[in-house]
Amino acid sequence: MEALAQVLIGLIALEHVYILVLEMFLWKTRARRIFGMTPEQAEATAVLAKNQGLYNGFLAAGLFWAHYSFHARNPEYVPRATFFLACVAIAGVYGGLTANRRILYVQALPAAVALAVLWLSLR
């Protein structure tokens, strides 16, 4: 169960690196098509998207930190992983309710599953 938790944490961290790239560097091209924006909408929201991308990068960094903590046998591994997975889940719920329902399934659900697997691995 611990190994599954580690895989899920790593995948969610990689997902947030992808989101960082999408929002910071591909907003006016790939992200525009993914989110169905006009070129004008993408241009008008590009600075905001870059800011969001940076925050997603911080989430990824925290998850990688937790992942590394596990391998370094750091006793802070579980609190770190719990905190960052909870942040991802909460951000996903908020985004799903306010921006696009898909975010619930792409961001919040995987984080909640990883959190559950993490906690079950402690038993």
User: What value does the mean pLDDT take over residues 80-92?
Assistant: 97
What long-range pairs does 18-21 form, CB within 8 A, spacing at least 24?
19/53, 19/56, 20/53, 20/54, 20/56, 20/57, 20/60, 21/53
Percent of the chain with pLDDT over 90: 89
Q: Dump pLDDT digits (tens) for 101-120.
A: 999 999 999 999 999 999 99
pTM, rounded to two decimals: 0.92
Number of structural domains (the chain) is: 1
pLDDT above 90: residue 72? no
Structural domain of 88: 2-120
Q: Dump pLDDT digits (tens) for 32-68.
A: 999 999 999 999 999 999 999 999 999 999 999 999 9
User: What value does the mean pLDDT take over residues 92-96?
Assistant: 96
Percent of the chain with pLDDT over 70: 100
